[in-house]
Amino acid sequence: MEINFIPIDYNYFDYEGRNYLKIIGRTDNNRRACIIDSCPVYFWAILKQDLNEKEIKRLQEKIESIRLKKESRNVEVLKTELHEKCFLGEKVKAMKIFITNFKDSHDIADHLEFKEIDKKREYDIDFITKYILEKKLKPLHWYKITGDILNNSEDFGGIDSSLEVDLCLKADKITELDNLEFKPKILAFDIETDEFDIGKGEILMISLVGENFKKVLTWKKESNHSFVEKFSDEKTMLEAFVEYVKKYSPDILVGYFSDGFDIPYLRARAEKNFTKLSLGIDGSKPVFSRGKLLTSRIQGIVHLDIYRFIKVVYSPYLQSETLSLNDVSSELLGEKKAVWIHKHSSKIKHHEWDSYYEYNLQDSVLTYKLTEKIWPDLMEFSRIIGQPLFDISRDSMSAHVENYLMNNLERYNEIIEKKPVSEIGERISKERYEGAFVYQPKPGLYENIVFFDFTSMYGSVIVSFNLSKSTYRDRKTEDSIEVDLEGKKAYFIQKKGFFPEILNDIIEKRKKYKKEYNQKKDNLSKARSNAFKLLANASYGYQGFFGARYYQQEAAAATAALARKYIKETIEKIEKAGYPVIYSDTDSISLLRDKRPKKEVLELLEKINKSLPGIMELDLEDFYKRGIWVTKRTGDFGAKKKYALINEEGKLKIRGFETVRRDWCDLARNTQNKVLEYILTEGNQKKALEYVKDIIKKIKERKVDKNDLMIKTQLKKPIDEYKSESPHVTIAKRMKELGMPVDIGMLMKYFIIEPESYQKTRTGKTKGLIRDRARLPDEEGKYDIDYYLNNQILPAVENIFEVFNLETKEIMNGKKQMKLGDF
């Protein structure tokens, strides 16, 4: 039998003590297939140098005779082979040790206490990763697979008949095809409940959305909507949910935060109702793995929690203030959640149920659309990094980098380094190293500004200077370069290491696909370019990350040190060419062009580029018409990481200002934004001042919408772990008392009310703590005019006006008058 097959979900199972893969995917005629395959299980013992043949032979015999007793199976070494390999760039002799079951790797490795062995490696790589590396059956690539079909056979304990698949094939020969097209069958789901604590309340309804498929299952109220189906009780509804999933037979079942909420809730309610949530294609229920975050896996179907992928891969590039389904959908899809004000089901009026159903359905619609939108990225990440979708959607950025590395080490004949275990503590306690250089700006309004930036600066430094674990030396060697790290010196050899070479490849691929995208504007090259960009950006942090297999703090420190050196040298060159530099942060430099033509600036850029080492490259970011840098509030010098620019097309670029900070009230943010806009577009501060005065007037006259006064602060840890109680912690406590859901990561929303008379001093000043006057959005109380003027509006605009030496007295006057009036 021969089929064309695309692997989607990978699982393993044991049969007669051996490990087998159970790979679920699709055939080209859209049938669901399962491939059974296996691969050799082994790890490496790297031998000490200068062993003679006899010693090696003797060691081999000793290793091959290892037998361990375990309850479930016999543990033994099957055979060994001697290989010439590389480890961290050095040639080594290594013994390949074959065993029966990968779960014994650790145990056997622990038993190899022989003096001839220097190191043991690759016993800590999980079986699925190993299989993909070994057999090259990469996720989401098409293959021609020949093998025996298992038709109700007893093979592998009758696995064929226990799976809901169209065919089951024992793989014999695997050949990669070059087709890359694939559209998965996606089913999105979402639940609504009365209580937020997992399993505490009943599940009122479940929505399901697929292609031409929309359903809301409930057991509450009948509905006029045709997509609503009513069942007699919660249990029947849960069973119908399982049936619908089975019938739809999706490749992907996707939720938004479903690892943390929907799936655990469904499990809890299924248990309570004595029914089995048999979503797996083998009839099994979701399996949860513990970690800091709950993760749930469904056999044969990829359970995606799209929120997790968005958080790791998308969030650094999103503008959204939260990663809620609503915020992310409005940014990525231009579509919002339906409106529904949450209330307990007992309080929902008859006619209101329909909008609740609509709301529930819309959540699944958005989740479905988001998944469709993000699919090219998910697929390309999975292909490039070589990990199954399930892992791709949940792994951290450092894991992505590491998996990509592991996937590319074969051509270097490298044995893979181990994960740190005992080393972690020591690595964490290591002193931090010096990072980026940030230029101290002079406050002021500037015209005709140019921004240069280094392309993938840290990546290009790592590549150009060969900075990595395998190329690092703690003492000078014949050809090494020396980097000074605050007194300590680090050395890096010239011979190219695999890490910088692989990174160079990543950067080149990024360039290639970016170019390709600019020509074709297709999703595939966009997703590829994006994936390589993210990998390049995370590679520097990876080498400084304590959990990395290829951790080398000196390499990370040297990267930062060399980046500082080159940005400072470049600043000097620019100034020598007669352009005043006004600001610089890490990899960017801004300079004043004044009246000199752009052509000259570009010539300077070219000249600088000729002198830069290796693949380092300075690029033109943009020309700006005008820009403003302000004073630090606690000092009389320029603030770093805070500026606003307007380019020649009139587009604003605002960095660091309150405008872009979510923990300031909208009124302050919008006012500041307007002020910056007036100043930058027209270079006119008068209008801006008038605008602010008007806002002040509105505040004093209590004409401001309460919603614009809400301060939003995120709760970052459990309430009782806070050492100091800031207003948002007080609010969190109050919400909890009121029985409202409070969880880590949530945004606490509050406003500040007027002080009572006892909260005032004789002179009329407010005493006491702000948190005592913090109120929930719908709590009573008049907003405190004084607070919003002095703690929100004025701080946001004060040092902008200061740039113009504009006496803020005018504004201050307002402030004083208010105080007098208040008194």
Q: What is the footprint of DNA within residues 413-442 (CB under 7 A)?
A: 424, 432-436, 438
- x/- map, 218-257, DNA, by CB under 7 A: ----------------------------------------
Q: How far is the CB of 342 from DNA (least distance, A)?
A: 22
Among 103, 119, 771, 819, binds DNA (CB under 7 A): 771
Stretch that binds DNA, among 6-14, 240-248, 490-498, 580-588 (CB under 7 A): 580-588
DSSP 533: H
Residues in region 727-746 near DNA by CB under 7 A: 727-728
Number of helices (H), then strands (E), in the chain: 23, 30
Stretch that binds DNA, among 90-98, 144-152, 299-307, 760-768 (CB under 7 A): 760-768
Tell me whether residue 102 or residue 751 sits nearer to DNA (CB atom). Answer: 751
Q: Is the dihedral of CA 350, 354, 355, 360 positive or negative?
A: positive
Stretch that binds DNA, among 125-133, 166-174, 499-507, 758-766 (CB under 7 A): 758-766
Within a 10 A sphere around the Cβ of 31, how many other Cβ atoms? 13
The alpha-carbon radius of gyration of the chain (Å, integer) is 31
Residue pair 46/117 in contact by the 8 Å Cβ criterion: yes
Residue pair 171/140 in contact by the 8 Å Cβ criterion: no
Q: How far is the CB of 295 from DNA (least distance, A)?
A: 10
Residues in region 587-606 near DNA by CB under 7 A: 587-588
Q: What angle do CA 175, 176, 177 make, to 5 degrees?
A: 120
Per CB under 7 A, does 444 bind DNA? no
How many residues sit close enough to DNA to count as binding (CB under 7 A)?
A: 72
| C-alpha dihedral, 647 to 652 to 653 to 654, nearest 10° | 140
SS3 call for 32: strand
Q: How far is the CB of 762 from DNA (least distance, A)?
A: 7
Q: How far is the CB of 722 from DNA (least distance, A)?
A: 4
Per CB under 7 A, does 759 bind DNA? no
Per CB under 7 A, does 786 bind DNA? no
Phi, psi of 361, deg, nearest 5 = -65, -45
Per CB under 7 A, does 369 bind DNA? no
Tell me whether residue 286 or residue 627 sits nearer to DNA (CB atom). Answer: 627
* DSSP bridge pairs for 210: 213
Among 38, 162, 330, 726, binds DNA (CB under 7 A): 726
DSSP string, 61-107: HHHHT-EEE-SSSEEEEEEEEEEEEEETTEEEEEEEEEES-GGGHHH
- x/- map, 311-330, DNA, by CB under 7 A: -x---x----x---------
Closest CA to 716 of 698, 704, 707, 729: 729
Among 753, 770, 806, 818, binds DNA (CB under 7 A): 770
Tokens of 101: 């079951």
- x/- map, 377-416, DNA, by CB under 7 A: -------------------xxxx-----------------
Tell me whether residue 480 or residue 799 sits nearer to DNA (CB atom). Answer: 799
Q: Distance (Å, rounded) from C-alpha 79 to C-alpha 540?
A: 40
Tell me whether residue 19 or residue 543 sits nearer to DNA (CB atom). Answer: 543
Residues in region 487-506 near DNA by CB under 7 A: none
Tell me whether residue 27 or residue 324 sits nearer to DNA (CB atom). Answer: 324
Q: What are the respective helix, strand and coil percentages of the chain, to the nearest 5?
A: 40, 25, 35
Among 473, 495, 515, 655, binds DNA (CB under 7 A): 655
SS3 call for 673: helix
Question: Do strands 747-752 and 774-775 pair parallel, antiparallel, or not at all (unpaired)?
Answer: antiparallel
Tell me whether residue 24 or residue 774 sits nearer to DNA (CB atom). Answer: 774
Among 619, 725, 756, 822, binds DNA (CB under 7 A): 725
432, amino acid identity: R
Residues in region 63-92 near DNA by CB under 7 A: none
Tell me whether residue 411 or residue 432 sits nearer to DNA (CB atom). Answer: 432
Q: How far is the CB of 545 from DNA (least distance, A)?
A: 4
337, amino acid identity: K
Residues in region 119-178 near DNA by CB under 7 A: none
Stretch that binds DNA, among 102-110, 325-333, 495-503, 582-590 (CB under 7 A): 582-590
- x/- map, 705-724, DNA, by CB under 7 A: -------xxxxxx---xxxx
Tell me whether residue 291 or residue 821 sits nearer to DNA (CB atom). Answer: 291
Tell me whether residue 283 or residue 656 sits nearer to DNA (CB atom). Answer: 656
Q: How far is the CB of 449 from DNA (least distance, A)?
A: 13
Tell me whether residue 268 or residue 747 sits nearer to DNA (CB atom). Answer: 747
Q: Is the dihedral of CA 634, 640, 642, 648 positive or negative?
A: positive
- x/- map, 270-299, DNA, by CB under 7 A: ---------------------xx-------
DSSP string, 183-225: ---EEEEEEEES-SSTTTS-EEEEEEEETTEEEEEESS---S-
Tokens of 115: 């003096």
Q: How far is the CB of 798 from DNA (least distance, A)?
A: 9
Tell me whether residue 292 or residue 576 sits nearer to DNA (CB atom). Answer: 292
Among 767, 780, 820, 821, binds DNA (CB under 7 A): 767
Phi-psi region of 632 (alpha: psi -120 to 50; beta: other; left: phi over 0): beta
Per CB under 7 A, does 769 bind DNA? yes
Tell me whether residue 174 or residue 605 sits nearer to DNA (CB atom). Answer: 605
SS3 call for 391: helix
Tokens of 359: 């709301």
- x/- map, 170-209, DNA, by CB under 7 A: ----------------------------------------
Among 62, 568, 662, 819, binds DNA (CB under 7 A): 662
Stretch that binds DNA, among 95-103, 464-472, 726-734, 808-816 (CB under 7 A): 726-734
Residues in region 512-551 near DNA by CB under 7 A: 537-538, 540-542, 544-547
Residue pair 551/544 in contact by the 8 Å Cβ criterion: yes
Q: In what order do the strands lie in the sheet with 774-775?
A: 711-714, 747-752, 774-775
Q: What angle do CA 613, 619, 621 make, to 5 degrees?
A: 155
Q: How far is the CB of 459 from DNA (least distance, A)?
A: 11
Residue pair 42/134 in contact by the 8 Å Cβ criterion: no
Q: In what order do the strands lie in the sheet with 444-454?
A: 581-585, 588-592, 444-454, 618-631, 638-647, 652-655
Q: How far is the CB of 700 from DNA (least distance, A)?
A: 19
Per CB under 7 A, does 560 bind DNA? yes
User: What is the residue whose two structure tokens read 């275990």?
Assistant: 421
Q: How far is the CB of 640 from DNA (least distance, A)?
A: 4
Contacts of 249 (CB under 8 A, 6+ apart): 32, 164, 185
Q: What angle do CA 186, 187, 192 make, to 5 degrees?
A: 150
